[in-house]
Amino acid sequence: MPLTEKEIAQIEEIEPVLLNQARAALQDAPRYELSLELATHLEPGLRIRAPQPRAKSGDSSEPPFPLDLYVALPADELRTIAALDDGPRAAAIGQFGASFMARLRDTIQSQLAHEVDLYAGVQGEAGTLAVTLSDV
């Protein structure tokens, strides 16, 4: 279920912390562009993009393509994190970050195993691939 405008405002307050946790969970994160997408008409999610590689032959219409992955995040988890007071919120964000990489790997293995190489930053087809982060 999409977030309300009030929930989006609450999550935007802690967005830098959530992105830092996601960066820490992704070992090669400095080379990825990470952003939260929280629009009221979409499932909230994390966009993970690899930079465009330098074209070898000038033809970018053949695989592998740079990673463009939309990871739908459990809205209930985000709501819970946003609604907590500062101390418990920090602990909840830490727990989210600590579990993020394992959950992301599990999600990709179960849904996109043959399409995404997270560590190489490539995917087998053009466009945005989407997955839903597995539950805790």
**Alpha helical stretches, state H, 26-85:** 75-83
Number of domains in the chain: 1
**Cα gap 110→14, rounded to integer Å:** 29
pLDDT at 67: 92
- Please list the pLDDT of the chain residue by residue as tens digits (136 residues): 788 898 899 899 889 988 888 888 887 666 899 999 998 788 899 999 998 766 565 566 788 899 999 999 998 988 898 889 888 988 998 888 888 888 888 888 888 888 998 888 899 999 999 999 876 5
In terms of residue numbers, what domain contains 9? 5-132
Q: Which helix (H) or strand (E) holds 18?
A: helix 5-25
Q: Which helix (H) or strand (E) holds 13?
A: helix 5-25
Give just the sign of the alpha carbon dihedral 43, 48, 52, 53: negative
- Starting at the earlier edge strand, list the strands of the sheet with 45-49: 33-37, 45-49, 68-72, 129-132
pLDDT at 29: 66
Q: Confirm if 66 and 84 have CB atoms less than 8 A apart.
A: no
DSSP assignment of 76-111 equals: HHHHHHHHS-HHHHHHHHHHHHHHHHHHHHHHHHHH
pLDDT at 118: 84
